[in-house]
Amino acid sequence: MPIYTFENTKTKKVYDDMMTIAEKEEFLAKNKHIKQLLTTINISSGVVGMGSMKNDGGWNDNLQRIADAHPTSELANRYKKKSIKEVKTKQVIEKHRKRQQGKK
């Protein structure tokens, strides 16, 4: 069962609770003063020193497909394969953006 983090909006108390998805939905419907907080996922396997994770080829391919679908995202900046034209275009845009900021 997953562990969810909740906040009581009346008391501002933050706490964790373990329940099924169905139980969570019912709990939130009955308790309007409770809201679920989004937290990061803790991953403990596949760690390669200094906090970086080792990704296999399949996962990298998946990240690349997501990046291709969202070309302006931060993920695209890291994983999208870029053509020479895209790299040069981005450099020119950044150059002109810096010039415009300098004029203000």
**What is this structure's pTM?**
0.40
The residue ranges of every structural domain in the chain are 3-37, 57-103
Let me know if 63 is exposed, middle or buried by CB neighbors in 10 A (0-12, 13-18, 19+). middle
Q: What's the one-letter identity of residue 2?
A: P
* pLDDT at site 49: 54
- B/e letters for 2-33, b = 16+ CB within 10 Å, e = fewer, are eebebeeeeeeeeeeeeeeeeebeeeeeeeee
User: In which residue ranges of the chain is pLDDT below 50?
Assistant: none
Which residue in this structure is represented by tokens 């415009």? 100
* pLDDT at site 46: 53
* pLDDT at site 50: 52
Residues 6+ apart with CB under 8 A from 3: 16, 17, 18
